[in-house]
Amino acid sequence: MSLFWRIFSLNAAGLVVAAAMLLGPVTVSTPVLPAEALVVVVGLALLLAGNAVVLRLGLAPLRRLGRAMADADLLRPGAREVVAGPAEAAELISTYNSMLDRLQSERAAGAARALSAQERERHRIAAELHDEVGQTLTAVLLQLKRVADRAPEGLREEVGQAQEATRAGLDEIRRIARRLRPGVLEELGLVSALRSLATEFTAHGLTVRHQVAAELPPLTEEAELVLYRVAQEGLTNTARHSGADRAGIELTGLPHGVELVVRDNGKGIGGSPEGAGLRGMRERALLVGAELLVRPGPERGTEIRLRVPAGGGR
C-alpha cells in the first residue's frame, strides 16, 4: 500500500469513528464538560500517534536509502538496499539499485578500456626505451670503450667513471622497461613473474619474501595481469611510502580461485585517504570480478588481499 493510502486510511478511520461516536453516545456541550474534553483529547492523541507511527514506518526505507546513497562507492560493490516499505519507497529503492548496477557496469567497462589503453601505452614506451634509448646508451658505451683504449693515462679514470655512469643508466632504463612491460609474465607465467618481482624489489633495499604456490587454478591472461599489477603496485607503495624494511608476497590457490596477499611491516595507511595507487588496484579488481581488501597487517603495516575467481575476466 502506498504511503498516501496508509495515511488517508488511518485518518479516515479516525474521522469515521469520531463521527459515529458524536452521532451516538458522545456529545459536546456548551460549555464543554471535563469528561467530554477528555474524550476529545484522547481521540486526538490516538489519531496523532497513529499518524506518527505510519509516517515513521513509511519513511524508514527512505532514510536507509539516503544512508546507502551517501556511502555508495562504485569501486566497492556491495549488497543492494532491500526493496521494502510503501509502494513509492519500494519503487524508488528498486530504481536506485538498478541505476547502481548500470553505473558499476559502465564504470567497469570504461575502466577496462582505459586500462587496456594504458597497457598498450606501457608496451609502446617500454619498447621505445629498450630499442631507442637502450641502443643509444649501448652505442655510447662502445664509444667510451674506444676512447678509454686511446685516452692518456690521466684521463682513463674519468672515462671509466663515465662508462660506469652510462652502464648504470642503461641498467636503470632496462629495469624501467621491464616494469612497464612484464615480459617474464608473458614468457614464463605468473609464478615466475611474481618471484622475479620480489627479487627486483629486494635488490633495491627492501627485503621481500615470496611464497607462491606451484599449482594454481586456471586463470585468464587478464586475471594474471591484474594479479601481477596489484602485487607490483603494492610493493611500489611499500617502497615509497611505508618506511618498511620487510615485505612479503603470497599467492595461494582457493577452491574456486586464487588469493594474493601483499603485506609489509611499515607504518600503515592510518586514516589517510586512498591515493591513485589503491584506487587503480580497485579498478583492476573490478575487471575480473575480484575482491580487494586493504587493512592493517596482523602485527603492523599494511596488508593487501586480492581474491580472484578462477577464470575471472570479462
pLDDT value for 3: 67
* pLDDT above 80 for 101: yes
pLDDT value for 23: 61
In the chain, where does the domain assigned CATH 3.30.565.10 lie?
Answer: 185-314
Enumerate residues 6+ apart whose C-beta is below 8 A from 101. Answer: 80
Q: What share of the chain is helix, strand, coil (3-state, %, to 5)?
A: 65, 10, 25
pLDDT value for 24: 66
pLDDT value for 219: 84
| E strands present in 140-245 | 207-212
8 Å CB contact between 199 and 247: no
* pLDDT above 80 for 207: yes
Please report which helix (H) or strand (E) contains residue 293, including its range: strand 291-296
Among 122-131, 238-247, 291-300, the range scoring the smallest mean pLDDT is: 122-131
Confidence of residue 311 (pLDDT cuts 50, 70, 90): low
Segment 216-230 mean pLDDT: 85
pLDDT value for 260: 92
| E strands present in 160-284 | 207-212, 246-254, 257-264
Angle (CA) 180-182-186 rounded to 5° is: 145
Q: What is the pLDDT of residues 7-38, one digit of tens each?
A: 778 778 877 777 777 666 766 667 767 777 78
* pLDDT above 60 for 313: no
8 Å CB contact between 219 and 185: no
Mean pLDDT of the chain: 80
8 Å CB contact between 182 and 228: yes
Take residue 235 and report the three cell numbers written for it: 610493493
Q: What is the pLDDT of residues 112-158, one digit of tens each?
A: 777 777 777 877 887 777 778 888 888 888 888 888 878 787 777 88
**In which residue are the cell numbers 611464497 written?**
211
pLDDT value for 26: 64
Selected residue with higher pLDDT from 35 and 195: 195
pLDDT value for 44: 79
| E strands present in 109-245 | 207-212
pLDDT above 90 covers a percentage of the chain that reads 3
pLDDT value for 78: 67
* pLDDT above 70 for 304: yes
Enumerate residues 6+ apart whose C-beta is below 8 A from 139. Answer: none
pLDDT value for 237: 84
Selected residue with higher pLDDT from 43 and 161: 161
**C-alpha dihedral, 16 to 19 to 20 to 21, nearest 10°:** 120
Enumerate residues 6+ apart whose C-beta is below 8 A from 199. Answer: 208
pLDDT value for 270: 67
CATH fit for domain 185-314, picks 3.30.565.10, 3.40.50.10470, 3.40.30.10, 3.30.460.90: 3.30.565.10
Task: Supply the pTM of this predicted model.
Answer: 0.61
d(Cα 100, Cα 6) in Å, to the nearest integer?
A: 29
* pLDDT above 60 for 272: yes
CA 124 to mean position of chain CA atoms: 27
